[in-house]
Every structure is written in C-alpha cells, then in structure tokens.
C-alpha cells in the first residue's frame, strides 16, 4: 500500500505557526495547485489542498514562506474526523508534509505581497525525523564561468593505466574471493 503525494503550488495565505500543549511546532497552510487541463470556458482551474507540517519544518515554513510563495510538498494524505459544534461528524482530509521545497528565491514574491520576505533560495525543509537540518547559507551562483580546458587529458586506449608491464597477469587461488 502506497500513500504518497507530491504537490507544487502557491500558498493562499501566510502560514500560521502554533505549538501543541507539549511544545511541538505545527503549521497549517493551503496550496493552490493548478490542474493540468482547462475547463469548458478555456480557463485553468485550481485545487486548494490543505497541508500540515510539524516541528522544525513547521517553523521554517512559517518564517520563510508567505502568501503567493511557490512551494513543493512531498507527503502523505491523512484523513480524520471530529464532532462539530452542532453535534454532527465533520470529516477532514489533509496532506502531512514530510518534505517541503522552497521553489523561489527569497525576494521572488515581493511583487505579490509587498514584502521582500520570501523563501530561501533553492532550500529544502524536511521533517526532523529524517535528521536533515537546513543550512543558514543560501545558494549562490558561481562567479566564474566554466572554461573548457585547452588540452584534453584523456587516457589513450592503447595505454593501460593498470598495467604493471608487458605479459600476462599472474593470479593464484589465494587471490580469488571464492
């Protein structure tokens, strides 16, 4: 049985960070994910997917993502239910994020939100259970262009770099692994 979800979409609002009674960080957010096809009027439609992240990943999402930020989520679908205020059973479906990718540079959504607070460049946030820690360092493009070497350093096919000389290679039974 497989329960795996991969989504790429934009946050519909700023994520809210909360803590459980035991001090575990949790954030809930909604991703607007475009459908691959158009409706009868030729317009693209979107699905609005509820997501939840826990621990350090939740804190990083709340600190670095904003409304309109492009994010990738790798996780699993989780369903649940609770009794509403009117006494009726309410059913929920959400994606539990195991890994969240920040897919835009830090200032990419400044035009959408009026703020320069976006996502870290090409960073990945994963659940603390995997042991991954997000480095504070941002990705930087190399300043020098790759230069093709003027002379190729290939080994000629008639030169055997493993050869110890001419003649056959001596192998005894003690050299064999079986």
Q: What residues does each domain of the chain span?
A: 5-35+44-130
Pairing of strands 70-83, 25-38: unpaired
Q: Of 80, 98, 78, which is closest to residue 90 (Cα–Cα)?
A: 80
**Domain 5-35+44-130 in CATH: superfamily?**
Nucleic acid-binding proteins (2.40.50.140)
What's the rounded Cα separation, in Å, for the pair 122 and 137?
11
Helices (H) and strands (E) in the chain, counts: 2, 7
In this model, does residue 128 exceed pLDDT 80?
no
Give the mean pLDDT of 100-121. 60
Structure confidence by residue, pLDDT tens digits, 40-95: 888 889 999 999 999 999 999 999 999 999 999 999 999 999 998 999 999 999 99
Q: What is the pLDDT of residue 134?
A: 39
Range from 11-20, 32-41, 75-84, 105-114 carrying the lowest mean pLDDT: 105-114
Query: What's this model's pTM, rounded to 2 decimal places?
Result: 0.60
How much of the chain exceeds pLDDT 90, in percent?
51
DSSP 65: -
């Amino acid at each position: 049985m497989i329960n795996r979800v991969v989504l790429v979409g934009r946050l519909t609002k700023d994520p809210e960070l909360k803590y459980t009674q035991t001090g575990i960080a949790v954030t809930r957010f909604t991703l607007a994910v475009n459908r691959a096809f158009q409706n009868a009027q030729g317009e693209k439609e979107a699905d609005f997917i509820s997501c939840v992240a826990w621990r350090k990943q939740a804190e990083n999402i709340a600190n670095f993502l904003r409304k309109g930020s492009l994010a990738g989520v790798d996780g699993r679908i989780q369903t649940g239910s609770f009794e509403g205020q009117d006494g009726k059973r309410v059913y929920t479906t959400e994606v539990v994020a195991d890994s969240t990718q920040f897919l835009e540079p830090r200032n990419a959504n400044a035009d959408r939100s009026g703020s320069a607070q976006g996502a870290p460049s090409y960073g990945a946030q994963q659940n603390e259970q995997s042991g991954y820690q997000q480095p504070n360092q941002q990705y930087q493009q190399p300043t020098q262009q790759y230069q093709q070497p003027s002379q190729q350093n290939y080994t000629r096919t008639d030169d055997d770099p493993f050869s110890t000389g001419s003649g056959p290679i001596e192998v005894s039974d003690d050299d064999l692994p079986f």
